Amino acid sequence: MTLPASHPMIDGRTADSPLVRAFLGESAGARAERTGRAPSTPVWFMRQAGRSLPEYRERRAGIAMLDACLDPEVASDLTLQPVRRHGVDAAIFFSDIVVPLLLAGVDVRIVPGTGPVLGSPVRTAEDVARLPVLDEGALAPISEGVARTVAALGGTPLIGFAGAPFTLATYLVEGGPSKDHLRARTMMHADPAAWAALLSWAAQVSGAFLRAQVLAGASAAQLFDSWAGALSLADYRAHAAPFSAQTLAPVRDLGVPVVHFGTNTGELLAAMRDVGADVIGVDHRLGLDEANRRLEGRTVLQGNIDPALLGAPWPVLEAHVREVLRRGSQAPAHVLNLGHGVPPSTDPEVLTRIVRLAHGER
């Protein structure tokens, strides 16, 4: 299947944008030479739409998280807020990785201060067999929200996203957030057939969620495997990577660049790339120069400002950002981002200053 003619990657709105060109491997220097402009590194921030913005808190007042995700008008407005404020080079669609679980009929809610909580954990083969089938018609609010957002973004690309099956499975098995994901990792080894069935189910719903966003207008896709760092390389390759590849398969034929990101995954970078990613997001624990070495110098990198430094004095943060840019310049191309999400306590003006710095402004 190909993208519709009205898609921004087809009609010319975003295909030549700095972010898409970088995701496809064009370095800042090459872009500068081609356009005649000063070198500039594209930048966006994970969790850039969120509690750090006063306009976000005002818009979300009285609206539960998952209700906001499923209201196309609200989700679109929240997606656009950081683009308007910071001038970032991309929007990322406002949603949550558990939204496709909810749309499939799973009893899941997001508890403030806790995170996703399941009404009934999934821990046996019988539990897996009872998981509902996602009716793709249920994705209509997502498609509408994406379409609204893309219409307002003009030449700024929208990134769609989804959760990787391993991370989704940790919530499903544990019943909520966990520090060590012990139940999930035990199930992985104790009942590998049930584990494979669970991750195949998660790949199906997450892949459909991601594909709906791309078809509705997203110019790139990012797969979050937030908790993959809990796995050894051998376990990741055997029990997680094949299902991440299944998740990405529904968008690989659409021709948009794919980013893969996880936390504490420095030992997994090549395996994460090999599931079908064009770009690897790197968290703050590993220098981008070392990440580039581990990826044999042939993979575009995204990252990796330490979120903790967003609260440091500007001279300290500025030096850190410049060092990240220097290390990132060794990769084929680099998109500046954080090593994880924006903390709620962040001063929004700090993010705006980082954008200006990445764009070569003073």
Residue tagged active-site, from 21, 89, 171, 273: 171
Residue tagged active-site, from 13, 60, 185, 327: 60
Q: Are 165 and 241 in contact (CB under 8 A)?
A: no
- Would you call 171 a catalytic residue per the annotation? yes
Crossing angle between the packed helical segments 182-190 and 192-216, to the nearest 10 degrees? 120
Q: Any bridge partners for residue 142, and if so which? A: none
As to burial, measured by CB atoms within 10 angstroms (0-12 exposed, 13-18 middle, 19+ buried), residue 352 is middle
Residue tagged active-site, from 13, 21, 31, 47: 47
As to burial, measured by CB atoms within 10 angstroms (0-12 exposed, 13-18 middle, 19+ buried), residue 105 is middle
Residue tagged active-site, from 77, 89, 96, 278: 96
Q: Are 239 and 218 in contact (CB under 8 A)?
A: no
Q: Are 340 and 263 in contact (CB under 8 A)?
A: yes
- Would you call 57 a catalytic residue per the annotation? no
H helices present in the chain, as ranges = 18-23, 28-35, 54-60, 65-69, 72-86, 99-104, 125-129, 140-153, 165-174, 182-190, 192-216, 233-239, 241-252, 269-273, 288-294, 314-328, 348-358
H or E stretch including 336? strand 334-338
Q: Which of 100, 275, 347 lies closest to 204, judged by CA?
A: 100
SS3 state at 143: helix
Q: Are 108 and 98 in contact (CB under 8 A)?
A: yes
Q: What pairing do the DSSP bridges indicate for beta strands 115-118 and 108-111? A: antiparallel
What is d(CA 168, CA 28) in angstroms, rounded to the nearest whole number? 35
- Would you call 362 a catalytic residue per the annotation? no
**Residue 161 carries which DSSP code?**
E
What is d(CA 21, CA 2) in angstroms, rounded to the nearest whole number? 20
Residue tagged active-site, from 16, 51, 252, 356: 51
- Close Cβ partners of 12 (under 8 Å, ≥ 6 residues apart): none
* Chain position carrying tokens 């012990």: 182
- Would you call 185 a catalytic residue per the annotation? no
- Would you call 60 a catalytic residue per the annotation? yes
Catalytic residues: 47, 51, 60, 96, 171
